[in-house]
């Protein structure tokens, strides 16, 4: 069951949880407030609230308002199903001025169209994009609004209205995540460098982690073509002399899905390697037996695709999977690892098995155990039956006959 509450987005980095608590002091049914910080970027805040009326009031009062001079958006917490259901009834209205009076614009829109919700969108540096996301009550209402609003003017500026689709999202992808930014670079230097690929709308550089050689940041281009170009470049490309790494910016949900796909692909490849006999499992590795140490010991036998070290269950020892590119390399390495030098160190090696094969083995072993238990139980059941029969023949507590033949033949 999803929790009820609302999300405040685009908060100035100087705003703390105490500031938000103070601002919302008149709301009596707030359960918790969690501020999510984003380096030098603008923050978000999740507010859990048990009162539906207070959630509606917070959205109505603060959505599109300004806190410390920065426009914010306030949206009710929604489930994935709710958001997917709303997407087919939603549209983007763009071209609005930076100093938009959101409350007035929202009021005018709602007097003409049946609207469920609407909120402003922001760049990574916290500035208003001039774009508003609108969810209509019906698809028909959305289509009528888009048809009428597209090409009209608001507050003297021409505006555009477009339906939300997956194709629209792809075509509008202009934000990039940037890695390997030199620590000495400023926002102005990053903007200057990125301008060689296209017009830059905004840039931001994150605070570097302690001891790091580089930092990361974001860049928003004016066009999708520029962001597509820069994301196609490698660090070795001549057009990228400072060797920065660019990637399309993904939302938290998109990153989660991407990680799940990558994990599933890696597991599938590992299973295939196990089936082909290219994976070794090393057990009993000590603290000095690092992944690099394992690689150095075995690289002479052939190309090593991956070395994955993980904690063991016994005595603080570690285990390790070593994946080779070819099966003969794994076989030769296994013979080498089974030598006395490694056994004296307590290191034991074997071919790793796929999950499917291990599951079949476990099923067979379980079946064998069950059969053994049943076979051991049969004589006891027979003995109990004979004792019961003996009691019926002689009376309770009588000594059983020496043989079942005596019982049935009357030799007693």
Which among 305, 308, 350, 348 is positioned nearest to 326, based on CA atoms?
305
Q: What is the CATH number of domain 1-77?
A: 3.30.70.330
Q: Do the Cβ atoms of 164 and 84 come closer than 8 Å?
A: no
| Residue that the structure tokens 């599109």 belong to | 64
pLDDT reported for residue 394: 46
Predicted local confidence at residue 376, as pLDDT: 73
pLDDT tens sequence for the chain (412 residues): 467 999 999 999 889 999 999 999 999 999 999 998 765 568 899 999 999 999 999 999 999 999 999 999 999 998 888 888 888 899 999 999 999 999 999 999 999 999 999 999 988 788 899 999 999 999 999 999 999 998 899 999 999 999 987 766 676 788 899 999 999 999 999 999 999 999 998 888 988 888 888 999 999 898 889 999 999 988 888 888 999 999 988 777 777 888 899 889 988 888 999 999 999 999 888 888 899 999 999 999 999 999 998 886 656 788 999 999 999 999 999 999 988 788 888 888 898 887 777 776 777 777 778 777 777 765 554 444 545 444 444 444 444 444 444 434 444 3
Rounded distance between C-alpha atoms, residue 280 and residue 267, angstroms: 15
Give residue limits of the domains in the chain: 1-77, 87-165, 170-249, 270-351
The domain 87-165 belongs to what CATH superfamily?
RRM (RNA recognition motif) domain (3.30.70.330)
Q: What is the 3-state secondary structure (H, E, C) of the chain?
A: CCCCEEEEEEECCCCCHHHHHHHCCCCCCEEEEEEECCCCCCEEEEEEECCHHHHHHHHHHHCCCEECCEECEEEECCCHHHHHHHHCCEEEEECCCCCCCHHHHHHHHHHHCCEEEEEEEECCCCCEEEEEEEEECCHHHHHHHHHHHCCCEECCEECEEEECCHHHHHHCCCEEEEEEEECCCCHHHHHHHHCCCCCEEEEEECCCCCCCCEEEEEEEECCHHHHHHHHHCCCCCCCCCCCCEEEECCCHHHHHHHHHHHHHHHHHHHHHHHHCCCEEEEEEECCCCCHHHHHHHHHHHCCEEEEEEEECCCCCCEEEEEEECCHHHHHHHHHHHCCHHHHHCCCEEEECCCHHHHHHHHHHHHHHHHHHHHHHHHHHHHHHHHHHHHHHHHCCCCCCCCCHHHHHHCCC
Asked if 125 and 204 count as a contact pair (C-beta separation under 8 A), the reply is yes
Asked if 412 contacts 401 with a C-beta cutoff of 8 angstroms, the reply is yes
CATH superfamily of 170-249: RRM (RNA recognition motif) domain (3.30.70.330)
Fold of 270-351: Alpha-Beta Plaits (3.30.70)
pTM over 0.85: no
Fold equal for 87-165 and 270-351: yes
């Amino acid at each position: 069951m999803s929790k009820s509450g609302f999300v405040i987005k685009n908060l100035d980095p100087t705003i703390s949880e105490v500031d938000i608590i103070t601002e919302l002091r008149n709301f009596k049914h707030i359960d918790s407030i969690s501020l999510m910080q984003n380096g030098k970027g603008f923050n978000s805040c999740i507010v859990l609230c048990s009162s539906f009326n207070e959630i509606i009031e917070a959205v109505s009062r603060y959505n599109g308002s300004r806190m410390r001079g920065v426009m914010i958006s306030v949206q009710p917490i929604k489930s994935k199903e709710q958001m997917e259901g709303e997407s087919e009834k939603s549209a983007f209205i763009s071209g609005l001025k930076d100093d938009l009076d959101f409350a007035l614009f929202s009021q005018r829109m709602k007097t003409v169209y049946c609207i469920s919700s609407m909120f402003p969108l922001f760049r990574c540096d916290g500035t208003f994009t001039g774009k508003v996301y609108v969810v209509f009550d019906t698809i028909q209402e959305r289509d009528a609004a888009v048809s009428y609003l597209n090409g009209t003017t608001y507050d003297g500026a021409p505006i555009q209205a477009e339906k939300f689709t997956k194709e629209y999202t792809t075509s509008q992808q202009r934000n990039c995540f940037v890695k390997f930014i030199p620590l000495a670079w400023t926002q102005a230097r990053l903007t200057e460098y990125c301008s060689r690929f296209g017009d830059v709308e905004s840039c931001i550089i994150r605070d570097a982690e302690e001891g790091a050689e580089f930092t990361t940041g974001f860049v928003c281009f004016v066009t999708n073509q520029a962001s597509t170009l820069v994301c196609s470049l490698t660090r070795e490309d001549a057009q990228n002399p400072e060797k920065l790494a660019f990637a399309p910016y993904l939302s938290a949900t998109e990153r989660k899905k991407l990680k799940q796909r990558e994990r599933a692909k890696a597991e599938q490849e590992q299973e295939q390697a196990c089936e082909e006999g290219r994976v070794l499992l090393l057990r009993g590795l000590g603290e000095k037996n690092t992944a690099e140490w394992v690689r150095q010991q075995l690289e002479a036998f052939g190309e090593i695709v991956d070395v994955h070290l993980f904690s063991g269950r016994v005595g603080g020892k570690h285990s390790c999977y070593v994946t080779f590119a070819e099966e003969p390399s794994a076989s030769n390495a296994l013979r080498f690892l089974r030598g006395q030098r490694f056994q004296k160190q307590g290191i034991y090696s074997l071919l790793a098995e796929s999950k499917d094969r291990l599951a079949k083995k476990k099923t067979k072993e379980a079946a064998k155990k069950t059969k053994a238990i049943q076979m051991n139980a049969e004589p006891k059941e027979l003995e109990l039956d004979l004792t019961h029969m003996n009691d019926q023949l002689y009376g309770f507590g009588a000594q059983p006959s020496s043989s079942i033949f005596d019982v049935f033949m009357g030799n007693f």
